[in-house]
Structure 1
Amino acid sequence: MTHARATAEGTLGIEFCGEWHHPTPGTTFSVGRDADLTVDTNQYLHRRLLAFDADGDLWWMSNIGQSISVSIATPDGAYQAVLGAGARVPLVFPEVTVMFSAGAYTYELGVRNHAASFTGRDPQATSDVGDGTTTIGAVTLTPSQRLLLIALCEPILRGGMVGASQLPSSAAAAARLGWPLTTFNRKLDNVCDKLDREGVQGLRGGVGKLATNRRARLVEHAILSRLVTPQDLDLLEVAAAASEKSVR
């Protein structure tokens, strides 16, 4: 990465559903259910979840909610962070994607900072190996694990623009693949355990860890890390067609 001095005088742009919003230095711009940018009337979404403001030479994003974590990543997935309630992060990259989930819905914002102080690596820095597995950094997925992620991420991958997507249930994703629910859940556990060992937060089960929250966190990580991309949707169609043919 290369470094250059930033200034908050540059324009910060926040995109949601194809519409751009531009916070003004000296003011706080909020995002939530009842905010400067109202993303949805979803009762599970905080009235104000995010705040953008300029402090010194930098733009900052703060999680001002009470219980919703917020994921942020550069387009290449090289930089990622999870912001809990009360945390904030400087927006030093030219472009980041912000994702958060409330209830059954996942929301995605695009943030562009024309005065950013860092540039990242080549966004094509992913690799495929010849045995059918996919490697992103230290994480290797089997073909079936990759299909599971594609099925869970399908609404976002097909969205085409930054906005809101409904998270499929495990039963719906299993049906999309033609798998028994028990098989899907076992593979889901395997994927979550694998990523948990790599340090991905929010995927371990236990008291207070709802299944919906775990799936939402998995989807956020898969999208932001580029573990799956829109180009992978063809694999899902092939798998679904093969499953349908097998039951005829």
Structure 2
Amino acid sequence: MSIEYAGERHVVPSVPGFSIGRAGDLVIDDNPHLHRRFLMIRAEQGMWWIHNVGSHLTATVCDRERTLQAALAPGGRMPVLADILDVIFTAGRTVYDLTLLTHSREVGALDETVVGDGELTAGHVSLNHAQRLLLLVLAEDALRGTAAGGSGDIPSSAAAAKRLGWTVPAFTRRLDHLCLKLERAGARGLRAGGGRVSTHRRLRLVEYAITTRLISRADLAILDALPRSGQDARNG
């Protein structure tokens, strides 16, 4: 087992385990919103497992074929059931992205009896041009940071709207429509209890879009083609 983060690969020993966090075996960042130890990778009963040992952050885990997406909540654990798994999480206003790589597993197919407390979702969503622009402007720093530093900040709605040349109400309306569309496809965390809009939905939206590969770094060319003052996308 190894972990790729910020362009570097770290070997994970089978014992006693490997911690990831602000002060773990793999030091992600000195971000005060990040747990000192957030994730733990261990070999147990002939399998690799990922544990969320934090108290309030959730990690999103996804394979490259988009057949598995799991929300790993605090206290949860799940087996590593693919050779390559992307792990994405947010702390404060920063998105982090790392990759688990393994070449030997006891289990070759997903079995819900061993998923633990990882909440599974999967789905496919098609985007129109305005929706893709909206996701790209929110995830721009995260996508560029994935290649350079492994993290990125999420702009405010006002800053994102200005970048695109939209009014804030138009941006918010399109954001509402996109969140509803993704909720129907299985995205979680876009609404708080009682159906209220989540205050963290832009962060969760970026997590979902990157994890499920609705957008990628290659798509930034679409955003780069816009004038810096932005331009309206009329088909939203």
- What TM-score do you get using the length of structure 1 for normalisation? 0.80
Aligned to 1:181: 168
What is the rounded CA distance, in whole Å, between the counterparts of 1:205 and 1:181 in structure 2?
Answer: 22
Alignment of 1:72 with 2:23, yes or no, is no
What is the rounded CA distance, in whole Å, between the counterparts of 1:156 and 1:44 in structure 2?
Answer: 17
What is the rounded CA distance, in whole Å, between the counterparts of 2:139 and 2:99 in structure 1?
Answer: 17
State the Cα deviation string for residues 125-169 of structure 1 (Å, max 9, x = none): xxxxxxxxxxx9542322111110111111122232561212222
Alignment of 1:193 with 2:162, yes or no, is no
Aligned to 2:102: 113
Alignment of 1:24 with 2:24, yes or no, is no
What is the rounded CA distance, in whole Å, between the counterparts of 1:79 and 1:13 in structure 2?
Answer: 20
Aligned to 2:49: 60
The structural deviation recorded for 1:119 is 8.3
Aligned to 1:9: none
Q: Which runs of 5+ in 2 are unaligned?
A: 111-121
What RMSD over aligned residues (CA atoms) do the two structures have, in Å?
2.4
What is the rounded CA distance, in whole Å, between the counterparts of 1:105 and 1:203 in structure 2?
Answer: 17
What is the rounded CA distance, in whole Å, between the counterparts of 2:17 and 2:32 in structure 1?
Answer: 23
What is the rounded CA distance, in whole Å, between the counterparts of 2:14 and 2:158 in structure 1?
Answer: 46
What is the rounded CA distance, in whole Å, between the counterparts of 1:16 and 1:77 in structure 2?
Answer: 20
CA pair 48-147 structure 1, distance change in 2 beyond 3 A: same
What is the rounded CA distance, in whole Å, between the counterparts of 2:45 and 2:102 in structure 1?
Answer: 15
What is the rounded CA distance, in whole Å, between the counterparts of 2:23 and 2:138 in structure 1?
Answer: 28
Which one of the candidate residues 114, 128, 138 is aligned to 1:152?
138
State the Cα deviation string for residues 164-212 of structure 1 (Å, max 9, x = none): 212222222212111111211111111111111222110114579652x
The structural deviation recorded for 1:15 is 1.4
- What TM-score do you get using the length of structure 2 for normalisation? 0.84
Aligned to 1:164: 151
Contact (CA 8 Å) 2:59, 2:72: kept in 1 or not?
Answer: yes
The structural deviation recorded for 1:238 is 2.8
Report the residue type matching 1:112 in the other structure: L
The aligned runs of 1:97-136 (5 Å cut-off) are 97-116=86-105, 117-118=107-108
The aligned runs of 1:6-25 (5 Å cut-off) are 12-25=1-14
The structural deviation recorded for 1:241 is 5.7
What is the rounded CA distance, in whole Å, between the counterparts of 1:86 and 1:209 in structure 2?
Answer: 25
Report the residue type matching 1:76 in the other structure: E
CA pair 83-137 structure 1, distance change in 2 beyond 3 A: closer
CA pair 154-204 structure 1, distance change in 2 beyond 3 A: same
Contact (CA 8 Å) 2:20, 2:28: kept in 1 or not?
Answer: yes
Report the residue type matching 2:85 in the other structure: V
CA pair 141-233 structure 1, distance change in 2 beyond 3 A: same
What is the rounded CA distance, in whole Å, between the counterparts of 2:140 and 2:164 in structure 1?
Answer: 12
What is the rounded CA distance, in whole Å, between the counterparts of 1:196 and 1:163 in structure 2?
Answer: 26
Contact (CA 8 Å) 2:190, 2:198: kept in 1 or not?
Answer: no
Which one of the candidate residues 38, 48, 52 is aligned to 1:49?
38
What is the rounded CA distance, in whole Å, between the counterparts of 2:65 and 2:141 in structure 1?
Answer: 20
| Equivalent position SS for 1:153 | helix
What is the rounded CA distance, in whole Å, between the counterparts of 1:166 and 1:238 in structure 2?
Answer: 21
Report the residue type matching 2:158 in the other structure: A
| Equivalent position SS for 1:115 | coil
Q: Which runs of 5+ in 1 are unaligned?
A: 1-11, 121-135
| Equivalent position SS for 1:111 | strand
Report the residue type matching 2:18 in the other structure: F
Report the residue type matching 2:91 in the other structure: A
What is the rounded CA distance, in whole Å, between the counterparts of 2:151 and 2:229 in structure 1?
Answer: 30
